[in-house]
Amino acid sequence: MTQIDLNCDLGESYGHYVIGNDQQVLPLISSANIACGFHAGDFSEMHRTVTAALRNHVALGAHPGLPDLMGFGRREMKVTSLEVYDMVVYQIGALKAVAAAQKAALNHVKPHGALYHMASGHKEMADAVVQAIRDVDPALKLFAMDGTHLAKAGERSGLHVIHEVFADRTYQADGSLTPRSQPDALITDTAQAMKQVMQMIREKTVTTAGGKKVPVRAETICVHGDGVKALAFAAEIRRGLAKQGLTIAAWH
């Protein structure tokens, strides 16, 4: 593999509340997952983030989440598959319009937080997310972790699935991410994050929190925009990937 995508969750500020380092991170990445107003972000923030991403030649992606501003979309909610379908259509549609107003188009969709994990672990939720994407625009790519219900649903439907790995999260033995409620869920050391990224690319494995190696497919690497070390991680990972002769670019 000579190409790798570097993505980040952005546009998560809201009103007077500023979250993340969007302006500093954007020049370092190739794909932006932009919050659509449910878990974070608002109409003005969406506009600003799309404008900044286009200025930095970064691919635009919708980052739909659960309607939970207080919990930042990271708490599971009891929602039906139809509600999931409707909320994903709604959010993609909103960002699609913001992009179209600037003569631009969306490239991908990556569900956020609890919605991402619900769709990864439950077939009916995965099918709802994928159907929503297909009904809005079947040319949109789907970011999903390899082997999950979300990735499988996307592949069955004919969507172009980009397999995602995480630089700043630890993994469990089943290949899932360690829940944020656990103390070892986040990686805050830049060297550790870089070591994990290179292992995932070179060996196609990741070492879990328990010391076991599990297989992964790394086509796009996520650095969370609200992370304490987001800027440092993005800069170091970009340098490390370039040293390996990899081209950092979005999948089009």
Does 226 have pLDDT greater than 70? no
CATH code where residue 141 lies: 3.20.20.370
Does 182 have pLDDT greater than 70? yes
Does 93 have pLDDT greater than 80? yes
Question: Rounded to two decimals, what is the model's pTM?
Answer: 0.95
Structure tokens at 88: 């994903």
- Count Cα neighbours of 237 within 13 Å in the Cβ-side half-sphere: 37
Average pLDDT over residues 161-183: 93
**pLDDT attached to residue 2:** 86
**pLDDT attached to residue 74:** 95
Average pLDDT over residues 82-93: 98
CB 207 within 8 A of CB 201: no
Does 228 have pLDDT greater than 70? no
- As a whole number, the mean pLDDT across the chain is 94
Q: What is the DSSP string of 47-111?
A: HHHHHHHHHTTPEEEEE---S-TTTTT-S-----HHHHHHHHHHHHHHHHHHHHHTT----EE--
Q: b or e along 203-238 (b: 16 or more beta carbons within 10 Å of the residue's beta carbon)? A: eeebbbeeeeeeebbbbbbbbbbebebbbebbbbbb
Q: How many structural domains compose the chain?
A: 1
Average pLDDT over residues 228-242: 85
- Looking at the DSSP assignment, which residues form a beta bridge with residue 4? 248
- Residue 124: which H helix or E strand, with range? helix 123-136
Q: Name the band, by pLDDT with cuts 50, 70 and 90, for residue 190.
A: confident
Domain residue limits at 242: 3-248
- Count Cα neighbours of 246 within 13 Å in the Cβ-side half-sphere: 23
Structure tokens at 92: 């993609």
**pLDDT attached to residue 230:** 76
Of 80, 63, 81, the C-alpha closest to 72 is: 63
